[in-house]
Chain A
Amino acid sequence: MVSDVSRSDEELVTRSRGGDADSFNQLILRWERPIYALAYRVIGREEDARDVCQETFLRAYRSLAGFKGEAKFSSWLYRIALNLCRDWIRRQRRAPVSQFPEDMDILEAAAATEPTESIEDLVARRELSAVVEEAMALLPEEQRTAIILKEYHGMTFQEIADLQGCPLSTVKTRLYQGLSVLRRQLQRQGQTVPQMVTPRLRSGSS
């Protein structure tokens, strides 16, 4: 007998549609971490990200009949989660919603911010993770989401374009602009930032 663990997403979806809640619970087990991580990185709040994650699976379960299998189940989940994140951002006009509209010159805006502390102080006070998180929060929502989907969820340009409902060229532009702002921000934190990166990460960069 094939256990749920070894079944494909599609098999589990079929069984779930037939009323097998355990199969759907297996799908949740498989995808709740990535969905939570996505929601957290997009909206920046733990509790709210967990709520978005929960709501994503609830909606997916209730809409199983409408899932035709044209896209991957995971893509479908990501779409639901991103829509919920977008709703959340619309409701919450506070941080970390982007402070710059997409067409604004954000490189200039980043350059205009106050100089930051030295890297020694930075290391003493914060971890690199927090530095990256702060830099990401500066990006417009579309750029931030594109980078999150690319860097942390390994999606192709085409998958991101489908999820964001934009042309491929727009995805690439968002990635380039987002990375450029991040580069600028991280450099402003001090040229020595790369020394804080673990050897694994540094070797991965080359």
Chain B
Amino acid sequence: MDETNMNDMNPCGNHEALIAYLYDECEPPKRESIAAHVALCAVCTDEIQSLRDTRAHLGAWSPPSMALGFQIVRTEADQPAKVLRPAAWWRQPLPAWAQVAAAVVIFAAGMGVSAVRSTDSATSVATATKSGGVIGRFAAATPVSHDELARLEARLRSVESAQAVGASVQLARTPAAAVNEQELLERVQAIVDLKVALSEGRQWAKLEKIGKNLGNMNEQVEAATNRLAVMEDELPRTQQGLRTLGSQLAVRTSYQPPSVGR
């Protein structure tokens, strides 16, 4: 293991031998030999001790803490894996301004989506101020079995995925589907509407939560504003105090103490 030319066991000037001894990485006989020399040689003793002291100092160096938490995330469609840091950034509280900005963006996006969907399917969701009512209505109007729903959903998903990759879609028709095409389309429409309604429901729940957060943030902003006002009121007094201190300091620095005999 040790290729060092340590035939000469005298470590004086043999830096490799000293380092091997320092890190205790040499064969026991060599180690004993070097130790015997170091015990008798003041130069080598000093050298080893100062190297040990230096090593001890190195232990004080620690890297700044850093949020890591990388994870391999496999994306769909067998795209190359990515290493992300999901835990690192979003679990940490955002600054207030960022929360407000994010809330505004989400709110605006939610309203935009809501508006688009209202015009697209005016008959189904235009009046849906509360999603619960809409869900109930669709659930009552389209009593389909679980199996039928599952089949329809499977077809929907195949259509969606085909559209996602931009391929021209040709639905693979089963005989049953061909016979009940009109009915199927109605049910598909119902499911699409149901999905929209569910999505709306989630949107509203999110918006309510965001509204609550905004309320809390408003209170915090008000409190901060009040504190700022108080600080502004105190500013003249602080400035006066600083001026007084400054003048006292000027007096002190102009004072020269008598020299004391050493």
Contacts and interface: CB of A to CB of B under 8 A. Distances in A.
Interface in B5-61: 5, 15-16, 18-20, 23, 25, 50-61
A175 to B, nearest CB: 5
Nearest to A37: B63
B61 A133 contact: yes
Contact of A128 (B16, B53, B60): B60
B66 A175 contact: no
Interface residues of B, number: 40
Contacts of B66: 36, 40, 46, 49-50
Contacts, number: 132
Contacts of A194: 53, 56-57
A170 to B, nearest CB: 10
16 contacts: A21-B74, A28-B71, A32-B68, A33-B68, A40-B64, A54-B85, A58-B81, A132-B57, A132-B58, A168-B4, A169-B16, A173-B15, A183-B51, A183-B54, A196-B60, A206-B52
Contact of A49 (B15, B23, B57, B63): B63
Q: Which interface residue of B3, B58, B62, B68 has the most chain A CB atoms within 10 A?
A: B58
Given A168-B4, A182-B54, 5 more contacts: A46-B66, A128-B61, A157-B23, A168-B2, A204-B59
B72 A61 contact: yes
A125 interface: no
Nearest to B2: A168
B50 A205 contact: no
Contact of B23 (A25, A28, A150, A182): A150
Interface of B: 1-5, 15-16, 18-20, 23, 25, 50-64, 66, 68-74, 80-83, 85
A167 B215 CA distance: 67
Nearest to B83: A58
A94 interface: no
A169 B3 contact: yes
A107 interface: no
A173 to B, nearest CB: 7
A36 B23 CA distance: 25
A179 B57 CA distance: 11
Interface residues of A, number: 57
Interface in A56-82: 57-58, 61-62
A161 to B, nearest CB: 9
A158 interface: yes
A57 B5 CA distance: 39
A46 B64 contact: yes
B17 to A, nearest CB: 9
A204 B61 contact: no
Given A129-B60, A167-B3, A172-B15, A179 B72 contact: no
Interface string A24-56: 110010001100110011000010011001110
Given A150-B23, A158-B1, A176-B18, A36 B68 contact: yes
Nearest to A181: B54
B70 A176 contact: no
Given A136-B61, A157-B25, A57 B70 contact: yes
Interface string A178-206: 01101100100000011011100110111
A197 to B, nearest CB: 6
A121 interface: no
Nearest to B72: A21
